[in-house]
Chain A
Amino acid sequence: MHELSVISSVVDAVLDSLQKYPGARVMEVRLRVGALASVIEDSLQFCYGIATESTPLEGSRLVVNMVPVTVYCEGCGAEGPIESLQSFRCSACGAPASHVRQGRELEIEAIEIEEAEEVK
């Protein structure tokens, strides 16, 4: 539901980072999104098209890499994936595990840009 706010923040951050590369065009933006981040890829893609219009990001690809949830188990010390988002239990011993180690990410990993020819 807040995908448009998320994408607007992405566009702002990318535009900021483009200041070092005047005239560059963005080809691709790669995100890392945790399974617990509450955003849906389809909505991100939809909002991306709208939010990038008339910016140096227009027409670029949005790649969303999903990050699965892993938890740390205080009981047995194992760190591993959970079976589903409906059960936060250690995959090794089955005990309830509430320490989420990954899966909340909402990050811009990298961008691919095409730099402008240098003016001689």
Chain B
Amino acid sequence: MTTRIVELRQGILKKNDELARGLRSRFESAGVLVLNLVSSPGTGKTAFLERTLRELRGRGARVAALVGDLETDNDARRLAASGAPVRQINTHGICHLEAEMVGKHLQDWSGVALEQLDYLFIENVGNLVCPSSYDLGERIRVALLSVTEGEDKPLKYPTLFNSADAAVITKMDIAEAVGFEREAALKNIREIRPNIHIFETSAKTGAGMGAWLDYLAEAKAVKAV
């Protein structure tokens, strides 16, 4: 018997990372801006996304969404009301989306071609931990946080907030009623991710949506680095 040390030095999520890299270059060459939306369950990702899809369509943009969920297709049906093509990804118990699931659902999505889209949104499974490790090939990762969740949420989930490019605060219309401490929330987000873009929004009243849509348009206009 001989004992031997074999150096492997490889990423555990190598397979996902490789698939994500492939997706990213497909997205870039098709000219579609892809965003990955991550939050806890109940933050209001779906309401925020529905309004985003509707308003972008109103501005003449071509949009579509992939929606991750453990079991149901309720969110996909809600989003479809915006008129945009929407496709459900059921993960059947898996707590996050993976690049392979995204690739598979893009492949046989009838009537939707990446080249004919301006924006593709991927709504991740409601979870602030696991999605942070899985690259989906997106250009912009968005972390969402509602005013009811507590201002210290970014401190409790630093991995996700640190890996995000933009932070969206949702349900601003009830901020006062729930005693939301705005300054503390903004400070905590920036403590984890200095220089992040922060948007304070309400899907109900439409507050803050303009700045968010302008940010998207600007990102779309800039070629990926």
Contact = CB atoms under 8 A, between A and B. Distances in A.
A110 interface: yes
Interface string A93-120: 0001110100010111111111111000
Interface string A10-38: 10011001000100000100010000111
A36 B191 contact: no
Contacts of A116: 1
Interface of B is mostly: mixed
Given A98-B193, A111-B5, A112-B4, A36 B159 contact: yes
A107 B3 contact: no
B162 A36 contact: yes
A54 interface: no
A6 interface: yes
Interface string B145-187: 0000000000100111011000000000000000000000000
Interface of A is mostly: mixed
Contacts of A6: 12-13, 133
Interface residues of A, number: 38
A36 B162 CA distance: 9
Given A37-B159, A110-B5, A86 B192 contact: yes
Contacts of B8: 13-14, 17, 108-111
Interface of B: 1-15, 94-96, 127, 129-130, 132-133, 155, 158-160, 162-163, 190-196
Given A86-B155, A107-B9, A112-B5, 4 more contacts: A9-B13, A98-B195, A109-B9, A115-B2
